[in-house]
Chains A and B, each alone.
Chain A
Amino acid sequence: MLSQQLLNALTLGSVYALFALGFTLVFGVLAVINLSHGAVFMVGSYTALFVVTRFEMPLWLGMLAAMMASGTLGLLIDVLILKRLRARNAPHLIPMIATIGVAITLSSMAQGLFGAEIMRFPEGTIPAGEFIVGDMHVRAIELGIVGIAFAMMAALLLAIRRTQLGRALRAIAESPKAASLLGINVEGLFHGTSFVAAALGGLAGVLIGLDFNAITPLMGQPILHKGIAVIILGGMGDIRGALIAGLFLGFAEVMSKAYVSSQMGDAVAFGLLFLILLVRPSGLFGRVLERKA
């Protein structure tokens, strides 16, 4: 029973971590809390669903399409909105408000187009295999989710730690001005970061859609709130912190639902977040990465 819950926690937590990764990346590099990340996640889910049902493509193509669609959306948000706000040197709450607007627009658009009811992947899309390890039922899809999420996170971490591009990104995170003086194409990397972050968010959307097999226009909102909890717990802009905190939140949520109260699971997560913010404003693992204007 406990091992089964641990597996559930790992699956949920790895998706939270993947979602939060893009979220925290954007904060670290662009210094923007992008509250449209949840809506982008939802768009990823629907894209995969449509590629699979309308065009009868295999699931992996659906995932790829979801990443491209979400990534492009993220890029558009950056080019059309965030870039203008940067140019104007708007106070840091302003981009946050603008991305709230984007989130509302996207989710009401989805509601208008697809209605409020839950949509599901058709039978046979989701690999149905199941292994029994000890007394534990392991669904193939769960393994897939955990595998994909970890592979993506490892790739991103490696890229940031080891490549020239990663070094450029870290330079920007310290100071965009200094980075541009060093000849780094700051705007270009802002766009690139927005694309990658949104693509990861879209992929997380597909994975959650597969895990619960339920896609709705408003699915982005609870995960956005979880994502906020994760990046605060992990320390804003801290990628490794987001990974650990994502897993931690998945664990806390599954365990409190299983052993405390099925209804209050979410309240536990946010109560925890609220308390941690009071004690450690820079997050559990974080150092404050705040750029003073």
Chain B
Amino acid sequence: MEWLDNFWSTYNTLVYSIGVHALLALSIWLTLACGLLSMANAAFMGIGAYVSALLSLNAGWPFAAVLVAAGVAPALVALIIGIPTLRLSGVYLAMATLAFGEVVRITVLNLEITGGPEGLNGIPQSTQGWHIVAILAFVVYGLTRMQRSRVGRAFESIREDDVAASLMGIDVARYKLFAFVLGAAMAGVAGGLNAHFTFFISPREYGFENAVDILTMAVLGGTGSLVGPMLGAAILTLLPELLRFLNEFRGIFNGIVLVLVVLFLPKGIWEPRRIKALFARGGGK
């Protein structure tokens, strides 16, 4: 088992990153599932990361409590900003969440308690591999249950046509708020987990690019199912490692992938429903 130890010591951060990114991709998947494009998930991740790091560093809370706080804090923020914001439709919502993300980033950059542009250092490395696996498994199970229920159908109907959905007796505003708040909590927990294995956090990690990265993972993998965003997260975490030889040009890859996927794989890489439908129709129209 020596090779396993070697493998683990070389690649454990990479594996951790995949898990955390998968959690983030699922958090934006949840909002996309009911037709909301939220660009605030990186900011929610940041709120979770900073709240948890500060609680660990200054208050000495146990890790479990810290993680709960990492989820609850951004969820509360999402609840407060969500009630007025979610009235906005489509692009306006994306813009408002983007503006909110900027406010969070600039605030963190300028506050004393958050360490300003230098960020926070020396966060205890409490995150274990199994924490990430357990939380991810819990989230995936919960979302799977949700997807196969009246809640999942309500999300889908809101995504397709929210007026028609409301005329089916669905409380559209409440479901949207629910998705937004739950997504924020998931992103916050991901932020808390991340802060407690990278040892160091700074405002740079929670800006617009990061919101875009999260979105790219979900769109690349496909938002038709839960597998898609996780697959997208794994690919986009591994690829930069494989593309090291591209050096400074690595970023180009992300951009081109996003464009190509939107153009040629509008449903993402993983699109089970079409496949299933294809079989149901006996091999196509």
Contact = CB atoms under 8 A, between A and B. Distances in A.
Asked if the two chains touch in their complex, CB atoms less than 8 Å apart, one says: yes
A263 interface: yes
Main secondary structure of the interface of A (DSSP, over half): helix
B254 A104 contact: yes
A93 interface: yes
B90 A93 contact: yes
Interface string A263-275: 1101100110110
B248 A264 contact: no
Interface stretch (A8-16, A62-70, A81-89): A81-89
B126 interface: no
Nearest to A105: B255
A81 B109 CA distance: 36
Interface in A74-118: 81, 84-85, 88, 90, 92-94, 96-98, 100-109, 111-112, 115
A278 interface: yes
A287 to B, nearest CB: 14
A111 B252 CA distance: 10
Nearest to A99: B259
Contact of B102 (A97, A101, A232, A266): A266
A98 B263 contact: yes
B255 to A, nearest CB: 3
A291 to B, nearest CB: 11
Q: Which of B94, B96, B209, B262 has the most CB of A within 10 A?
A: B262
Interface in B57-73: none
A106 B252 CA distance: 7
Contact of A277 (B96, B107, B247): B96
Contacts of B90: 92-93, 290
Interface stretch (B81-89, B147-155, B186-194, B269-277): B81-89
A173 to B, nearest CB: 15
A81 B99 contact: no
B92 A104 contact: no
Contacts of B248: 108, 111-112, 115
A151 to B, nearest CB: 29
A17 B263 CA distance: 31
Given A104-B254, A225-B98, A264-B110, A278 B85 contact: yes
B256 to A, nearest CB: 6
A228 interface: yes
Nearest to A274: B99
A98 B251 contact: no
A204 to B, nearest CB: 19
A228 B88 contact: no
B91 interface: yes
A33 interface: yes
Contacts of B95: 33, 228, 232, 277
Interface residues of B, number: 42
A193 interface: no
Interface string B96-126: 1011101100110110000000000000000
Contacts of B89: 290
Interface in A110-163: 111-112, 115
Q: Which of A98, A104, A108 has the most CB of B within 10 A?
A: A104
B16 interface: no
B255 A270 contact: no
Contact of A274 (B103, B209, B251): B103
A107 B249 CA distance: 10
A273 B99 contact: yes
A104 B212 contact: yes
A106 B251 CA distance: 9
Nearest to A111: B248
Nearest to B212: A100
Interface of A: 33, 81, 84-85, 88, 90, 92-94, 96-98, 100-109, 111-112, 115, 221, 225, 228-229, 232, 236, 261, 263-264, 266-267, 270-271, 273-274, 277-278, 281, 290
Of all A-B residue pairs in the complex, the 5 with the closest CB atoms, nearest first, are A108-B251, A101-B258, A105-B255, A104-B255, A101-B259
Interface of B: 37, 84-85, 87-92, 94-96, 98-100, 102-103, 106-107, 109-110, 208-209, 212, 215-216, 219, 247-252, 254-259, 262-263, 266
28 contacts: A33-B91, A81-B262, A85-B263, A90-B262, A93-B37, A93-B91, A93-B94, A94-B266, A96-B91, A97-B219, A98-B258, A98-B259, A100-B258, A101-B257, A105-B255, A109-B249, A109-B252, A112-B249, A228-B95, A261-B110, A264-B110, A267-B102, A270-B102, A273-B99, A274-B100, A278-B85, A290-B89, A290-B90
